């Protein structure tokens, strides 16, 4: 069952993401985009006040941007000296952003930079560790301005995404999961990108009945024929139980889209009927499910 919105919690409409280089700010941007935030990476501080006026709360009846997340960090040349003052300007104009500060241990940051082979923006020739420690000292005052501090030392990209989506979506599970159920015929090749694949070639095949072979899995005669087969009902039930178990877990991990392939020999009869049944079951459990029949008319 998809998560319900927490209507009582007021979610930030204007977020500034900052922190230590290598602490996960880029990953955070992807998560905010999935949540419908307009995201800008490395916005010049001189444009911060102007940008703020475009957001909800600027006094406009129809603001240009509903909600936004900005990444501003040490890469911006005047960040250290001007950020506190720019933040104060926004606060005085009732545009105070919600500041999220990302950090991680020296050891983790060293490993991340070593793995990516990217130069540290604070490196002055004294080595990676010295650069990390210098940036940490320089950002000490900025860190005090944060509304939320996230230590990503023990996070993977997936667990950090899950944390942010939970925090900023107002739901227990995160963004809605869109599910596409696709029927296809194995003789035309498997779909290029599916997350789960079900094979229904073990079911009785209407193709071998001359009164049925020219019909599709959406015709009442085919539906009636397959519905009379006990193994069809059992297959749909077992597939449905598995999906209802798995989908909330995929959603919890922050997955936004899921494609389920259902294949039979030609993609005309069995896979079509089963795909339609699975879509119906998922919609009955409040999932945003749709169905596509790739090979039904071939």
pLDDT category at 279 given cuts 50, 70, 90 is very high
Rounded Cα distance between 155 and 254, Å, is 14
pLDDT value of residue 64: 60
Q: How far is CA 225 from the centre of its chain?
A: 40
Residue located via tokens 């059992």: 234
Residue position matching structure tokens 């598995």: 242
Confidence of residue 2 (pLDDT cuts 50, 70, 90): very low
CA dihedral defined by 276, 278, 281, 284, rounded to 10 degrees?
-60
pLDDT, one tens digit per residue, over 21-67 is 999 998 899 889 888 899 988 888 888 887 877 774 444 455 567 78
- Domain segments of the chain: what residues? 14-169, 178-293
Residue 297 has pLDDT above 70, yes or no: yes
Per-residue pLDDT of 89-125, as tens digits, reads 888 877 888 999 999 999 999 999 988 778 888 888 8
Query: Is the predicted pLDDT of residue 87 greater than 50, yes or no?
Result: yes
The correct CATH number of 14-169 out of 3.40.50.720, 3.40.50.300, 3.40.50.11540, 3.30.9.10 is 3.40.50.300
Neighbouring CB atoms inside 10 A of 296's CB total: 19
For the residues of 203-226, what is the DSSP string, one character each? S--GGGSTTTTTS-TTSHHHHHHH
**Of 14, 67, 75, nearest in space to 42 by CA:** 75
Residue carrying structure tokens 């193709």: 207
If DSSP codes are grouped into helix, strand and coil, which group holds residue 90? helix
Provide the H-helix boundaries in the chain: 25-34, 48-52, 79-92, 106-116, 128-138, 140-144, 157-169, 220-227, 230-252, 270-284
C-alpha radius of gyration, the chain, whole number: 26
Cα 233 to Cα 227: distance, rounded to the nearest angstrom: 7
């Amino acid at each position: 069952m998809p998560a319900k919105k927490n209507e009582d919690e007021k979610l930030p409409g204007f977020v500034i993401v900052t922190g230590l280089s290598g602490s996960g700010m880029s990953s955070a941007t992807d998560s905010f985009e999935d949540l419908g935030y307009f995201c800008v990476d490395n916005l010049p501080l001189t444009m911060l006040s102007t940008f703020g006026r475009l957001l909800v709360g600027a006094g406009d009846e129809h603001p240009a941007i509903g909600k936004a997340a900005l990444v501003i960090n040490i890469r911006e040349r005047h960040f250290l000296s001007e950020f506190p003052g720019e933040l104060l300007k926004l606060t005085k104009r009732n545009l105070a952003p919600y500041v999220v500060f990302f950090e991680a241990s020296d050891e983790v940051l060293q490993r991340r930079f070593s793995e990516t082979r990217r130069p540290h923006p604070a490196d002055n020739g004294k080595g990676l560790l010295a650069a990390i420690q210098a940036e940490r000292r320089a950002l000490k005052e900025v860190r005090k301005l944060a509304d939320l501090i996230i230590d990503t030392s023990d996070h993977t990209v997936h667990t950090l995404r899950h944390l942010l989506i939970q925090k900023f979506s107002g739901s227990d599970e995160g963004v809605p999961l869109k599910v596409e159920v696709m029927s296809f015929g194995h003789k035309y090749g498997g779909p290029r990108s599916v997350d789960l694949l079900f094979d229904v070639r073990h079911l009785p095949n209407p193709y071998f009945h001359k009164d049925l072979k020219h019909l599709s899995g959406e015709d009442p005669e085919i539906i009636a024929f397959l519905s009379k087969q006990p193994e069809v009902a059992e297959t749909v039930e077992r597939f449905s139980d598995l999906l209802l178990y798995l989908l909330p877990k995929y959603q919890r991990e922050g997955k936004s889209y899921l494609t389920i392939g259902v294949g039979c020999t030609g993609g005309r009869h069995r896979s079509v009927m089963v795909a339609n049944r699975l879509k119906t079951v998922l919609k009955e459990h409040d999932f945003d499910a749709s169905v596509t029949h790739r090979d039904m008319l071939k």
